[in-house]
Chains A and B, each alone.
Chain A
Amino acid sequence: MNELNELRRALLKGGCAAGLVAFAASAGLLVPGRALAAEWNKSAFEAKNVADVLKGLGASGVADSKDILIKASDVAENGAVIPVEVTSQIAGTQSITILADKNPLPLLAMFEFVDGAQGYVSTRIKMGQTSNVRVVVKAGGKYYSAAKEIKVTIGGCGG
């Protein structure tokens, strides 16, 4: 996504646009299906706060939604292994992103869905301290989010 955004910005700036397209094509950026095997989103994953993560994801105008269900226990005894189950009931869910607000690196994981894949993810995460677990869903090009607080008694990030 990031590459494509940069590419688009560069194209919007004009200048040697034609040359850029040729370059992009030769670099394989315009190959269909490329979006799925997208580069690891470094800027979003290395962001140190939620606002920067959202910026890195290109998510703006995020609206709260009651159609995102986050199933996790209220209290986690071990911050290194916290089971989390996310279901998006929003029609046309394209991706589910999971964040922990107060983790040193808040972005945990991003899942993109195509064809038959359902807006559902169950996994286990690490949290450094008590914080909100935030889920951002992309559907129809728009962003929705929901959060749930999980109390952590022993952190799972530090030494």
Chain B
Amino acid sequence: MAEPMKIRTQLSGDLVAIKVLIGHVMETGQRKDPRTGQVIPAHFIKQLSVGLNGKTVIAAQWGGAISKDPFLGLKVKGAKAGDKITVHWEDSKGEKNSAEATVG
């Protein structure tokens, strides 16, 4: 089960700064278990999108080399207080998660 996502927004003028914190193992598939010597299978977020009022404004594709529990900072223009920011991701095992925040 995916851990909850944290989204913070900060509005200055019509520019909203978005900070996202995602709980995810981000396993590269390159690492070996030190005890068993077995390669730990890859498990990482592949696709992520950020929407402003339901319209996708940023679409990202990731590899396994984004740090564990990914942090993301982004900026979007043309926002106002009360707008909805949504973040959605899908990982290499097909797990998904979405979260929503209101621009304050």
Mark A residues whose CB is within 8 Å of B. Answer: 33, 36-38, 40-41, 45, 80-83, 85, 100, 103-105, 107-118, 120-127, 156-159
Q: Which residues of B contact A122 (CB under 8 A)?
A: 71-74
Q: Which residues of A contact B64 (CB under 8 A)?
A: 105, 126
Residue on B nearest A36 in the bound complex, by CB: B59
Interface presence of B96 (CB below 8 A): no
CA distance A120 to B60 in the complex (A): 13
Q: Are B79 and A109 closer than 8 Å at their CB atoms?
A: no
Sample of 18 further A-B pairs with CB below 8 A, known A37-B49, A114-B58: A37-B59, A40-B46, A40-B47, A40-B61, A81-B67, A108-B63, A109-B61, A110-B62, A111-B60, A112-B60, A113-B58, A116-B52, A116-B78, A121-B74, A124-B70, A126-B26, A156-B67, A159-B33
Q: Which residues of B contact A110 (CB under 8 A)?
A: 60-62
State which size class the interface on B falls in: 35 or more
Q: What is the interface of chain B mostly: helix, strand, loop, or mixed?
A: strand
CA distance A35 to B56 in the complex (A): 11
Residue on B nearest A41 in the bound complex, by CB: B61
CA distance A37 to B49 in the complex (A): 8
Q: Are B75 and A120 closer than 8 Å at their CB atoms?
A: yes
CB distance from A28 to the nearest CB of B (A): 16
CA distance A36 to B63 in the complex (A): 17
Q: Are B63 and A124 closer than 8 Å at their CB atoms?
A: no
CB distance from A108 to the nearest CB of B (A): 5
Q: Are B61 and A45 closer than 8 Å at their CB atoms?
A: yes
Chain B 12-30 per-residue mask, 1 if CB under 8 angstroms from chain A, else 0: 0001000000000010101
CA distance A50 to B63 in the complex (A): 14
Q: Which residues of B contact A126 (CB under 8 A)?
A: 26, 28, 64-67
Q: Are A123 and B73 closer than 8 Å at their CB atoms?
A: yes
Q: Which of A107, A114, A125 contacts B57 (CB 8 A)?
A: A114
Q: Which residues of A contact B33 (CB under 8 A)?
A: 159
Asked, given contacts A41-B61, A109-B61, whether A118 binds B67 with beta carbons under 8 Å apart, the answer is: no
CA distance A112 to B48 in the complex (A): 10
Residue on A nearest B57 in the bound complex, by CB: A117
Q: Which residues of B contact A159 (CB under 8 A)?
A: 30-34
Q: Are B65 and A116 closer than 8 Å at their CB atoms?
A: no
